[in-house]
């Protein structure tokens, strides 16, 4: 497992999303490192971490995170998870609540969603997820055609295309030219992301409890039934009876890639939630 780290202080573990790697945190690392020892691993199959042929399901990702904590000799850390990293983070909190002190989820659904028929109207927007999850087709889409699909995924889900430089996009997509990493990304969608969607629909996590204090940051969502900016979209509800300490926070003027678009807000929200103080 490849790990980028810097800073000094209480450990802060940060898990990236798809189709990125640790570089997703580049805009937030410097300020967070003033208060924490910031640890940014590349998850299995991404960045510069090994990309085995299998092991892209929930249990392997959770085991990888716990093994990393053990290898770094951390009994307990604060955790930030973004997109895929957020999905992994929720599962770590549920399976190993003793290892996570506080959790910040960014652009990731919680494990207790309430599904409504209106959601079916928005399914067409997530067609790339199903395409990438398809064996052979998914890896080909991630590697071919000047890699238009992964570039489009990042550009289409931001409110301001100016947040991406050509170099940023290239740093992310060039790792997917490796056939093993393209297969890994496809397997993640198939074996983890879609599997978690099915578990949510089946209410599999309703017999579990999220005891870790959690802050969930979100930008634009697929749809909203509320007109008031002071209310949270209906799609984000459902956690109320299953989480001990859960806070939703909307990040204005942001799409899906919140750390890219609003890094100052992300840093301020994390520091406030963790109660960060300057480390001498």
Q: Which of 3-12, 19-28, 126-135 has the lowest mean pLDDT?
A: 126-135
Whether 190 is covered by a domain: the verdict is no
Residue 266 lies in a domain: yes
Domain membership of residue 185 (yes or no) is no
137 domain-assigned:
no
Q: Give the model's pLDDT for residue 277.
A: 46
Contact 88, 59 (CB under 8 A): no
Residue with tokens 């079916």: 120
Does residue 262 form part of some domain?
yes
Q: What is the pLDDT of residue 124?
A: 59
Indicate if the pLDDT at residue 222 is higher than 60. no
Return the pLDDT at 159. Answer: 86
Q: Which distant-in-sequence residues (6+ apart) come within 8 Å of 56 by Cβ?
A: 44, 45, 184, 187, 188, 190, 191, 192
Predicted confidence at residue 136, as pLDDT, reads 96
Number of structural domains found in the chain: 1
H/E element, 280:
none
What's the pLDDT score for residue 126?
Answer: 79
Digit-coded pLDDT (tens) for 155-195: 988 888 889 999 999 999 999 999 999 999 999 999 999 99
Tens-digit pLDDT profile for residues 66-119? 999 999 999 999 999 999 999 999 999 999 999 999 999 999 999 999 876 666
Is the pLDDT assigned to residue 123 strictly greater than 80?
Answer: no
Rounded distance between C-alpha atoms, residue 239 and residue 61, angstroms: 23
Task: Report pLDDT for 157.
Answer: 86
Whole-number pLDDT of residue 89: 98
Question: Is residue 192 assigned to a domain?
Answer: no
Task: Say yes or no to pLDDT of 233 above 90.
Answer: no
Distance, CA of 27 to CA of 263 (rounded, Å): 6
Q: CA 199 to CA 208: how far, in whole Å? A: 12
Whole-angstrom CA distances from 198 to 25, 82, 113 are 29, 20, 11
Please state, for a pLDDT cut of 70, what percent of the chain lies above it.
91
Label residues 72-87 b or e (16+ Cβ within 10 Å = b). eeeeebbbbbbbbbbb
Res 276: pLDDT: 54
CATH code for position 28: 3.40.50.1820
Task: Report the alpha-carbon distance of residue 44 to residue 227 in Å, rounded.
Answer: 40
How high is the pLDDT of residue 279? 43
Q: Express the helix, strand and coil content of the chain in percent, nearest 5 each.
A: 50, 15, 40
Residue span of the structural domain in which 100 resides: 3-123+207-274
pLDDT over 50 (residue 234) = yes
- Asked whether residue 60 is domain-assigned, the answer is yes
> What is the DSSP code (8-state) at residue 243?
B
The pLDDT of residue 39 is above 70? yes
* Residue 164: inside a domain: no
């Amino acid at each position: 497992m490849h790990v980028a780290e810097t800073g000094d202080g209480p450990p802060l573990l940060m898990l990236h999303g798809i189709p990125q790697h640790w570089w997703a945190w580049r805009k937030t690392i410097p300020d967070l490192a003033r208060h924490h020892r910031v640890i940014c691993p590349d998850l299995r199959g991404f960045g510069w971490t090994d990309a085995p042929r299998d092991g892209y399901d929930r249990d392997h990702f959770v085991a990888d995170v716990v093994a990393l904590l053990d290898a770094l000799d951390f009994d307990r850390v604060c955790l930030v998870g973004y997109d895929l990293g957020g999905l992994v983070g929720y599962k770590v909190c549920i399976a190993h609540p003793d290892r996570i002190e506080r959790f910040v989820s960014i652009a990731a659904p919680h494990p207790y969603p309430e599904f409504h028929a209106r959601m079916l109207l928005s399914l067409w927007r997530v067609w790339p997820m199903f395409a990438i999850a398809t064996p052979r087709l998914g890896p080909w889409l991630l590697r071919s055609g000047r890699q238009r699909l992964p570039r489009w995924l990042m550009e289409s889900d931001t409110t301001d295309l100016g947040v991406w430089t050509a170099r940023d996009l290239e740093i992310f997509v060039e790792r997917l030219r490796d056939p093993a990493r393209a297969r890994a990304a496809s397997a993640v969608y198939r074996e983890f992301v879609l599997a978690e969607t099915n578990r949510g629909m089946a209410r599999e996590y309703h017999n579990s409890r999220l005891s870790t204090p959690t802050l969930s940051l979100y930008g634009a969502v697929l749809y909203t039934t509320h007109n008031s900016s002071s209310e949270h979209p209906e799609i984000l509800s459902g956690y109320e009876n299953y989480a001990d300490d859960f806070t939703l926070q909307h990040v204005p003027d942001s799409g899906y890639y919140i750390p890219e678009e609003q890094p100052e807000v992300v840093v301020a929200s994390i520091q406030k939630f963790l109660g960060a103080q300057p480390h001498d």
